[in-house]
Chains A and B, each alone.
Chain A
Amino acid sequence: MLSARGLRKSYGNLVAVDDVSVSVAAGEIVGLLGPNGAGKSTTVAMLCGIATPDGGEVSVDGVSLGASAHAGKLLVGLVPQDLALIDELPALDNILLFGSLYGMGGDLLKSRAIEALKLVGLSDRAKSRPATFSGGMKRRLNIACALVHDPKVLMLDEPTVGIDPQSRNHIFGNLETLRSRGKALLYTTHYMEEVERLCDRIVIIDHGRVVAEGTQQALRALMPASAVSRYEISGVIDPALLADLNARGIKSKLRDEDSLEKVFLHLTGTDTRDGR
Chain B
Amino acid sequence: MSAFTALVRKDVRIYLSNRRALLLSLVAPILISAFMGAVLGGGPSKPAAIPIGVVDLDQSTISKKIVADLARDTTLAVRELPKAQAIALVREGKINAAAVIPQGFGQQASDALFRPDIGRPQIDIHYDPSQSMILEVVKGLLTEYVMQVVSADVFGGSSQSIARQRDRVTNAKNLDPTFRDQLLNLFKSIEDVQVRNPEDQHGSGPAQQGLTMPFGTRDHQVTSGERNYNAYAHSFAGMTVQFILFMGVELGIGLLLMRRMGLWQRLRAAPVSRATLLGSRMTAGTIIALILMAGIFAAAIVVFKVRIEGSVVGFVAVAVSFAVLTSCLGLLIAAIGRTPEATRGMAIVLTLLLVMLGGAWIPTFVFPAWLQSFTQIVPTRWAIDGFDAMTWRAQPVQAIYLPVAELLGLSAVLGALAVFTFRWEE
Contact present for B10 and A82 (CB under 8 Å): no
Contact present for B1 and A82 (CB under 8 Å): no
Query: Given the complex of chains A and B, what is the CA–CA distance between A87 and B1 in angstroms?
Result: 21
Contact present for A48 and B269 (CB under 8 Å): yes
Stretch of B11-19, B84-92, B137-145, B338-346 at the chain-chain interface: B11-19
Pick the residue among B13, B17, B260, B270 that contacts A101 (CB under 8 A). B270
Measured CB to CB, the closest approach of chain B to A127, in angstroms, equals 14
User: For A86, what are the chain B residues with a Cβ–Cβ distance below 8 Å?
Assistant: 10, 14, 263
Query: Given the complex of chains A and B, what is the CA–CA distance between A71 and B271 in angstroms?
Result: 7
User: For B14, what are the chain A residues with a Cβ–Cβ distance below 8 Å?
Assistant: 86, 88-89
Complex: chain A residue closest to B268, CB-CB: A50
Q: Does A264 contact B (CB under 8 A)?
A: no
Complex: chain A residue closest to B276, CB-CB: A101
Contact present for B425 and A78 (CB under 8 Å): no
Interface string of B247-272 (1 = CB under 8 A from A): 00000000000001111011111111
Query: Given the complex of chains A and B, what is the CA–CA distance between A12 and B376 in angstroms?
Result: 43
Chain A interface, number of residues (Cβ within 8 angstroms): 30
Pick the residue among B2, B273, B425 that contacts A50 (CB under 8 A). B425
How big is chain B's contact interface, by range? 20 to 34
Measured CB to CB, the closest approach of chain A to B413, in angstroms, equals 27
Query: Given the complex of chains A and B, what is the CA–CA distance between A86 and B266 in angstroms?
Result: 11
Complex: chain B residue closest to A101, CB-CB: B270
Measured CB to CB, the closest approach of chain B to A99, in angstroms, equals 9
Contact present for A100 and B3 (CB under 8 Å): yes
Known: A52-B425, A86-B14. A101 touches B272 (CB 8 A): yes
Query: Given the complex of chains A and B, what is the CA–CA distance between A236 and B261 in angstroms?
Result: 52
Interface string of A41-81 (1 = CB under 8 A from B): 00001001111100000000000000001110110101011
Query: Given the complex of chains A and B, what is the CA–CA distance between A150 and B213 in angstroms?
Result: 90
User: For B7, what are the chain A residues with a Cβ–Cβ distance below 8 Å?
Assistant: 101
Query: Given the complex of chains A and B, what is the CA–CA distance between A79 and B75 in angstroms?
Result: 73
Query: Given the complex of chains A and B, what is the CA–CA distance between A131 and B177 in angstroms?
Result: 103
Complex: chain A residue closest to B7, CB-CB: A101
Pick the residue among B13, B265, B269 that contacts A82 (CB under 8 A). B265
Pick the residue among A51, A70, A81 that contacts B271 (CB under 8 A). A70
Pick the residue among A49, A70, A71, A100 that contacts B1 (CB under 8 A). A100
User: For B6, what are the chain A residues with a Cβ–Cβ distance below 8 Å?
Assistant: 97, 100-101
Query: Given the complex of chains A and B, what is the CA–CA distance between A272 and B13 in angstroms?
Result: 44
Contact present for B13 and A69 (CB under 8 Å): no
Query: Given the complex of chains A and B, what is the CA–CA distance between A145 and B262 in angstroms?
Result: 13
Contact present for B18 and A88 (CB under 8 Å): yes
Contact present for B271 and A80 (CB under 8 Å): no
User: For A103, what are the chain B residues with a Cβ–Cβ distance below 8 Å?
Assistant: 3, 271
Measured CB to CB, the closest approach of chain B to A247, in angstroms, equals 53
Q: Does A212 contact B (CB under 8 A)?
A: no
Measured CB to CB, the closest approach of chain B to A242, in angstroms, equals 48
Query: Given the complex of chains A and B, what is the CA–CA distance between A74 and B270 in angstroms?
Result: 7
Known: A89-B10, A100-B2. A82 touches B271 (CB 8 A): no
Q: Which of B11-60 contact A (CB under 8 A)?
A: 13-14, 17-18
Contact present for B13 and A84 (CB under 8 Å): no
Q: Which of A7-49 contact B (CB under 8 A)?
A: 45, 48-49
Q: Does A187 contact B (CB under 8 A)?
A: no
Pick the residue among A70, A88, A98 that contacts B13 (CB under 8 A). A88
Measured CB to CB, the closest approach of chain B to A190, in angstroms, equals 17
User: For B18, what are the chain A residues with a Cβ–Cβ distance below 8 Å?
Assistant: 88
Contact present for A101 and B425 (CB under 8 Å): no
Measured CB to CB, the closest approach of chain B to A133, in angstroms, equals 15
Measured CB to CB, the closest approach of chain B to A227, in angstroms, equals 39
Complex: chain B residue closest to A109, CB-CB: B1
Contact present for A80 and B10 (CB under 8 Å): no
Measured CB to CB, the closest approach of chain B to A185, in angstroms, equals 15
User: For B265, what are the chain A residues with a Cβ–Cβ distance below 8 Å?
Assistant: 45, 50, 78, 80, 82, 84
Contact present for A89 and B272 (CB under 8 Å): no
Contact present for B425 and A51 (CB under 8 Å): yes
Interface string of A208-237 (1 = CB under 8 A from B): 000000000000000000000000000000
Measured CB to CB, the closest approach of chain B to A29, in angstroms, equals 19
Measured CB to CB, the closest approach of chain A to B4, in angstroms, equals 10
Query: Given the complex of chains A and B, what is the CA–CA distance between A99 and B13 in angstroms?
Result: 17
Query: Given the complex of chains A and B, what is the CA–CA distance between A84 and B14 in angstroms?
Result: 14
Query: Given the complex of chains A and B, what is the CA–CA distance between A101 and B268 in angstroms?
Result: 10
Measured CB to CB, the closest approach of chain B to A151, in angstroms, equals 10
Pick the residue among A52, A76, A97 that contacts B269 (CB under 8 A). A76
Most chain A beta-carbon neighbours within 10 Å: one of B17, B262, B263, B265: B265
Query: Given the complex of chains A and B, what is the CA–CA distance between A97 and B262 in angstroms?
Result: 16
Contact present for B10 and A97 (CB under 8 Å): yes
Q: Which of B268-312 contact A (CB under 8 A)?
A: 268-273
Complex: chain B residue closest to A87, CB-CB: B14
Q: Which 6 A-B pairs have the closest CB atoms?
A: A82-B262, A84-B266, A100-B6, A101-B270, A73-B271, A78-B269
User: Which residue numbers of B lie inside 8 Å of A, CB to CB?
Assistant: 1-3, 5-7, 10, 13-14, 17-18, 260-263, 265-273, 425-426
Given A100-B6, A102-B270, 19 more A-B residue pairs with CB atoms under 8 Å apart are A45-B265, A48-B269, A50-B269, A52-B425, A69-B271, A70-B271, A76-B269, A78-B265, A83-B262, A84-B261, A84-B265, A85-B263, A86-B10, A86-B263, A98-B266, A101-B3, A101-B270, A103-B271, A145-B266
A–B complex contacts, Cβ < 8 Å, 22 sampled: A45-B265, A45-B425, A70-B273, A73-B269, A73-B270, A74-B271, A78-B266, A78-B269, A80-B266, A81-B262, A82-B262, A83-B262, A84-B262, A86-B14, A86-B263, A88-B14, A97-B10, A100-B1, A100-B3, A102-B271, A103-B271, A145-B266
